[in-house]
Structure 1
């Protein structure tokens, strides 16, 4: 089972006087990178919240948002009466205006509101932690669903490469015969007398250089190993990436040794399927 690194999770906590929303978004990244947006009043709890997220999400670029909306009548903000009166007095000296207009202007000035810093209640923080855990469950569910889609795509593309490999195997004897015939024709066109035994030895040596038996066996093994890794309980994106490198190495070697157009066409198709797998693997956890 594999998981995608792309995901989204959200959960809302409703308290008596406020609504707290937790949002988690993730994109692919080589490591875990958490970007947190937290109100100032909750900054003291940022580290434990980061640890909670790090324990729940192994890799990815994570955007974590904690949003607080006051819904009750209670508020910690008060009008700084003395400063407002001072602003109104100074504004009245500069320009004429009624008291309502002066009050509107004064309230727009700095420091007209004072906020008492309230301590974060531990019971509230425990509720926030539970909310984060629920959001983590949601984002992991999203990642798993995306992973299932990717797994089906990988399975089909690996199957396509395996089918193309069978076609490579089926035309390999024909390829060897064509290469041998091409060499014999080239030598005959030289119109020189050639020692038959020496020519046969050279021909065998030349054909051995273009033998792809080992590559065919190794490629088949790598394809099977990819499918086995895909079926494991853990999401192994990096491991699958390493296997893809080995698959690509064998495909490239077959292409360089082919020296036969029909086989090279099959190699191009295998490369195309592999590149699409590699692109999608960047999103796998």
Structure 2
């Protein structure tokens, strides 16, 4: 199955106190990686988010945005800094002793110190928030998967068309190639007849034609090209991620077509090679976006 690496999905889950929204955008990438943006209080769930995403995404870069609205993420605790208080009282005692002050440190004096009392936010272990997050994440991932599958079907359709055109051109070149040698032999015979007044040895003509045929023989390249096209068609039907294999096959086909172009030694073959390279370039661009 052809699956695109490009997709978008959105999911939401909520209860009476909390609403969790997850948005996911995926793009093509050589490997599988994620950039997750979520509230600091929920960072302990990051590994679970990645593990869940891996059930739906096998290759590509995913941008995952998680927002949480409502109460229950944190609890607030009042903290008293005993060390600062001890230092304050000790310092006051020292000052009183030195300057002979008689006033004493009171609670009100401590309350005036902003650094002694503080309010800290402590992440709350809330199983319900975690459950809502995973529900919203699953919904978003299912959206992404549907979009990636749909776009993958369109890519497969286009690739199949390009493959068929490429195969048809290759078959035409294969049928046409022998005529290149015959045409060369006829041109050579005509030229030699002009230069030798018709006194030409048939063996020499056959030898020269054989040398030319060997130089411009493209049967091996055409056979390999046909084999790559067959593998390409079979790969499109596989269920596992196929993007890298398809990319490799396109590179190999491009290599064979380049060799055909350099050995073909014929204007029509050159024209067909240009068309094949154009098709392969389109296939390469599309393959780059397949999982």
TM-score by length of 1: 0.79
Tell me the equivalent position of 1:165: 170
| Preserved contact between residue 2 and residue 152 of structure 2 (Cα < 8 Å) | yes
Tell me the equivalent position of 2:149: 144
Of the three residues 253, 258, 268, the one matched with 1:252 is 258
Tell me the equivalent position of 1:98: none
Of the three residues 208, 217, 223, the one matched with 1:217 is 223
Superposed CA RMSD in Å reads 2.5
TM-score by length of 2: 0.77
Tell me the equivalent position of 1:102: none
Deviation at 1:73, TM superposition (A): 11
Q: Deviation per CA, 1:196-223, whole angstroms, max 9, x where unpaired?
A: 4244223312211211222222212211
Work out the CA distance in 2 between the residues paired with 1:24 and 1:4.
15
Does residue 288 of structure 2 align to residue 282 of structure 1? Answer: yes
Deviation at 1:149, TM superposition (A): 0.4
Whose radius of gyration is greater, 1 or 2? 2
Deviating above 4 A after TM superposition, structure 1's stretches of 4 or more consecutive aligned residues are: 72-78, 185-196
For 1:78-227, list aligned pairs within 5 A. Answer: 116-185=121-190, 187=192, 196-227=202-233
Work out the CA distance in 2 between the residues paired with 1:173 and 1:56.
51
Unaligned runs of 5+ in 2: 78-117
Work out the CA distance in 2 between the residues paired with 1:268 and 1:229.
25
Does residue 24 of structure 2 align to residue 24 of structure 1? Answer: yes
Tell me the equivalent position of 2:8: 8
Work out the CA distance in 2 between the residues paired with 1:13 and 1:197.
86
Q: Deviation per CA, 1:52-97, whole angstroms, max 9, x where unpaired?
A: 2234311111101101123x7999689xxxxxxxxxxxxxxxxxxx
Unaligned runs of 5+ in 1: 79-112
Work out the CA distance in 1 between the residues paired with 2:259 and 2:232.
19
Q: Secondary structure at the match of 2:241?
A: coil
How many correspondences in the alignment? 250
